[in-house]
Structure 1
């Protein structure tokens, strides 16, 4: 990228493939943190809005996609998780369930929540969700934690659905590229939320955004979207210089009032608490970055007792309504990237306006 974004009338290949106006992607959030209002707002303002649907049953994947199409005529992405469970996380016997509950029981008692019934399955099946997604035909299908089967990618091509996969290493990016994925997100460990590694342990795939971006961009054919630690136009400019063709912002959009984050979560992102994030498996069973709180601290002493994904997260989800109702932040995931202390904007419109201004105006100042 040279002087300003407007100086490149045709944009990057990523912008052309996505059909958006600006090289701005809103990161998808799972667990009820995504909203159609947020995704549609970003899309309507020229970026790519995204909706994290990994926890939704197939009927809701259809419903959300239909609702987004009613809110915007611009491209948007629906995001799923290719790998929907870790070893031991598919189902539990009643004996295993009772043993797992005993670990969480003190917190259920503290919050006055009854012991939940053992579910048949702790998460949605990717195969069922992706069938619904193909039927719904969103403009863009983004995914994490793996590469969809070849028949799914072919079905996307037949339907004109653009595909975006996430990589945390060179090897993962090359696997996505070899499979024919349209665009690749190179996601550095600075990013908030889950580390979507799929070829090696997430703990062994912790590369920073500034290192990962050019390493991936130099080795794949697909356009690269860079994610991790980007909160403003300066960050987007930086990754474009390093070979990316768009920047993805997660925490900056999560902090906006249009997201599904609780008011307490958003307030924490704008407080001094945002200076201390931690990578932990304590919330879901998979490695993720969030703000330090009581849960992450107490669970650090019980790492060997944490349950596999998604069982660990399922038990916490049973506590979530009571925690949210009480306005507490100590027993709930507070996803956040390392760039949160530089957050400035509380609505998606304000954030998009600042990003666009910073990309299209001379570089007098992009810290807005």
Structure 2
């Protein structure tokens, strides 16, 4: 049986194995994080869809149940300015669906609230002092970044290009998540939003590893020991796994999403901006097929979700995911349904068995 030759992430985070639970906003729960952390990986807790109070409660629960290192994740987007013309155009594009489902086209909904990292979230970090703090869509302003750093937390963030990786290292990140195009959920882009030039994981990882001096974490398309071994061979010090954990009972995943995941194939997903206004990979459904996965009509992130919210609710009540964001990476078919702790231990054992 092999050993972990590159121990930089293991030692940096204080974990037993170089496996990081992707902090998936929505599906991510304290129970899921706890199970992965207790099994030797890095427990990750997403906060982008949480209020400060909800995040506080989740961290309180997590800290009371495990001594394992914790990664707390936040979004770093800039709140958009309201654009009445764009909102109107988006609603007009969806009007036929409103009529079909018997919903007043003038009906308004707030949609899901995705809150960027701010003073209140920073105070939460200062209170709980998580071992790792991760950011998506770049980094927060320097004052907030410095406050997080002062807690002793290791800071990591997603890069989808070499240029983004170099930027993150130059701005103080302790490790870089190399997020390949295969990854599910929101793209971590912040310098270049052109989806036509996005790079796959196994082309991106070695190029980022060559470009930066800090450890690299491979994300996207990794769901079993073969993917982990390949990522490590290409220069990654660890892997971040998301979609494979969506199949675990501890993940908060609606049944219609679970069914879609079980039926997903290698070509079942696409990158879309319809659900939030920002590109994210999910399983193709009706609205993605009929409008097209990417649309210039969709309002800026995260405002696009409001107009889709009543359609989503109506369809889900009928057991359909026609207007639901069914986030998934491209390797769902490689996943297994088992408890998160059991899955983590299996991934560790199977990877070590394959390592030289």
TM-score normalised to structure 2 length: 0.90
Structure 2 match to 1:5: 3
Contact 1:90 1:121 (8 Å CA) reproduced: no
**Of 90, 111, 114, the match for 2:81:** 90
Provide the C-alpha distance between the structure 1 equivalents of 2:70 and 2:312, rounded to a whole number of angstroms. 28
Structure 2 match to 1:126: 117
Provide the C-alpha distance between the structure 2 equivalents of 1:265 and 1:274, rounded to a whole number of angstroms. 16
Provide the C-alpha distance between the structure 2 equivalents of 1:37 and 1:186, rounded to a whole number of angstroms. 26
DSSP 3-state at the match of 1:243: coil
Structure 2 match to 1:358: 350
**Of 184, 197, 200, the match for 1:208:** 200
Provide the C-alpha distance between the structure 1 equivalents of 2:278 and 2:355, rounded to a whole number of angstroms. 39
Summarize deviations over 1:216-251 as a string: whole Å, max 9, x none.
111112111001100011111111111110011111
Structure 2 match to 1:45: 39
Q: How does 1:1-368 map to 2 (within 5 A)?
A: 4-5=2-3, 8=5, 12-30=7-25, 32-85=26-79, 89-92=80-83, 100-111=90-101, 116-117=107-108, 123-128=114-119, 130-135=121-126, 136-273=128-265, 275-300=267-292, 303-362=295-354
What displacement does 1:173 show? 0.4
Provide the C-alpha distance between the structure 1 equivalents of 2:120 and 2:186, rounded to a whole number of angstroms. 20
What displacement does 1:326 show? 3.0
What displacement does 1:333 show? 1.0
What displacement does 1:25 show? 0.7
CA RMSD of aligned residues (A): 2.6
Give the direction of change, closer, same or farther, for the CA distance of 1:321–1:45 in structure 2 (3 Å limit): farther
* Structure 1: 5+ residue stretches without partners: none
Task: Show structure 1 runs of 4+ deviating over 6 A.
Answer: none
Give the direction of change, closer, same or farther, for the CA distance of 1:117–1:333 in structure 2 (3 Å limit): closer
TM-score normalised to structure 1 length: 0.87
Provide the C-alpha distance between the structure 1 equivalents of 2:131 and 2:272, rounded to a whole number of angstroms. 33
The alignment covers a number of residue pairs equal to 354
Provide the C-alpha distance between the structure 1 equivalents of 2:330 and 2:111, rounded to a whole number of angstroms. 37
Contact 1:174 1:220 (8 Å CA) reproduced: yes
Contact 1:36 1:51 (8 Å CA) reproduced: yes
* Structure 2: 5+ residue stretches without partners: none
